[in-house]
């Protein structure tokens, strides 16, 4: 990623202190098993580390943090462990290659929820349970992105329409009404139309003047249940679970993304001198 490209990065030397977070194959960091070690060697594809304390048991992958990032941050990369071994002087060592799930995750500056049109839901590229461990390790921090409406039943993203406030149907028709000021009668335009002119059906006034004698009003009638109201209601419909609900009953979904708060270690740029 271009955001990771530092023009002047200090070289890493042998003996640099490394943070090591053992990890599971699915990407979960074992935050409370974080350990320290020292850099023995690094190539573009591999790293060799001496651990300060031997691990209680072998782990399949790890996140490695080395010094030298911008503003005192560490530089991180993921490895798949290819060897756990003990040197002649009894020190625990690990060798790993820069690859795998951990390496993929930490390559991204941002991890953002994406809308999946097949499930009608937002989904993070990394499982939330995995993400919690990255947050606990202070590798990523959550960032509030947006709030969106969600289905009150299943939480998926619903569609909205203006519709019937009783049965929540979208099959409504607008009906034009006339309000005759003098006698206060309100009726449909059809009721007023007679003998080729407008006649109030209540007080029989003939040809009243619009604006002066009467005004037009609109009502909405539901074809399915006969409900009638001057204002349509906001109606939500979830395409995932088929629930229909009043618009104000939608739940709020908080969209959170994650920003990496360490730098990415680019093995190609930091090969140790042997």
Residues in touch with Zn ion (CB under 5 A) = 151, 153-154, 156, 164, 166-167, 169, 180, 183, 185, 200, 202-203, 222, 224-225, 227, 238, 240-241, 243
In the complex with Zn ion, the residue whose CB is nearer, 32 or 119, is 119
Q: Rounded to the nearest whole angstrom, what is the least distance from the CB of residue 240 to Zn ion in the complex? A: 5
Q: Which residues contact 82 (CB under 8 A, 6 or more apart)?
A: 46, 95, 96, 97
With CA atoms as reference, report the closest residue to 266 among 24, 5, 53. Answer: 5
Cβ–Cβ under 8 Å, residues 108 and 85:
no
Angle CA 247–251–255, to nearest 5: 125
Q: Rounded to the nearest whole angstrom, what is the least distance from the CB of residue 217 to Zn ion in the complex? A: 14
Q: Rounded to the nearest whole angstrom, what is the least distance from the CB of residue 165 to Zn ion in the complex? A: 8
In the complex with Zn ion, the residue whose CB is nearer, 146 or 242, is 242
In the complex with Zn ion, the residue whose CB is nearer, 224 or 266, is 224
In the complex with Zn ion, the residue whose CB is nearer, 161 or 166, is 166
Q: Rounded to the nearest whole angstrom, what is the least distance from the CB of residue 207 to Zn ion in the complex? A: 12
Q: Rounded to the nearest whole angstrom, what is the least distance from the CB of residue 242 to Zn ion in the complex? A: 7
Residues 274 and 272: their CA atoms lie apart, in Å, by 6
In the complex with Zn ion, the residue whose CB is nearer, 238 or 265, is 238
Cβ–Cβ under 8 Å, residues 260 and 70:
no
Whole-number Cα distances in Å, 107 to 9, 80, 102, 228: 17, 15, 9, 57
């Amino acid at each position: 990623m271009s955001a990771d490209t530092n023009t002047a990065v200090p070289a890493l030397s042998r003996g640099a202190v490394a943070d090591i977070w053992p990890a599971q194959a699915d990407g979960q960091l074992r935050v409370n098993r974080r350990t320290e070690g020292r850099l023995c060697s690094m190539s573009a594809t591999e790293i060799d580390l001496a651990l300060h304390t031997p691990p209680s048991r072998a782990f399949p992958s790890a996140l490695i943090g080395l010094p030298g990032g911008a503003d005192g941050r560490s530089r991180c990369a993921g490895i798949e462990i290819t060897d756990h071994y003990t040197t002649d002087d009894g020190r625990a060592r690990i060798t790993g290659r820069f690859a795998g799930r951990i390496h993929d995750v930490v390559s991204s500056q941002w991890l953002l929820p994406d809308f999946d049109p097949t499930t009608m839901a937002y989904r993070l590229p990394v499982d939330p349970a995995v993400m919690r461990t990255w947050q606990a390790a202070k590798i990523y921090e959550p960032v509030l992105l947006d709030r969106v409406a969600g289905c009150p039943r299943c939480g998926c993203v619903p569609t909205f329409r203006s519709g019937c406030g009783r049965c929540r149907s979208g099959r409504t028709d607008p009906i034009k009404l006339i309000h005759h000021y003098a006698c206060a009668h309100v009726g449909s335009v059809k009721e007023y139309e007679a003998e080729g002119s407008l006649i109030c059906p209540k007080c029989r006034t003939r040809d009243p003047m619009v604006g002066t004698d009467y005004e037009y009003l609109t009502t909405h009638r539901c074809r399915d249940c006969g409900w009638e109201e001057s204002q349509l209601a906001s109606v939500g419909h979830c395409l995932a679970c088929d629930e229909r609900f009043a618009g104000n009953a939608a739940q709020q979904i908080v969209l959170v993304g994650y920003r990496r708060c360490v730098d990415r270690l680019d093995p190609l740029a930091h090969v140790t001198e042997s």
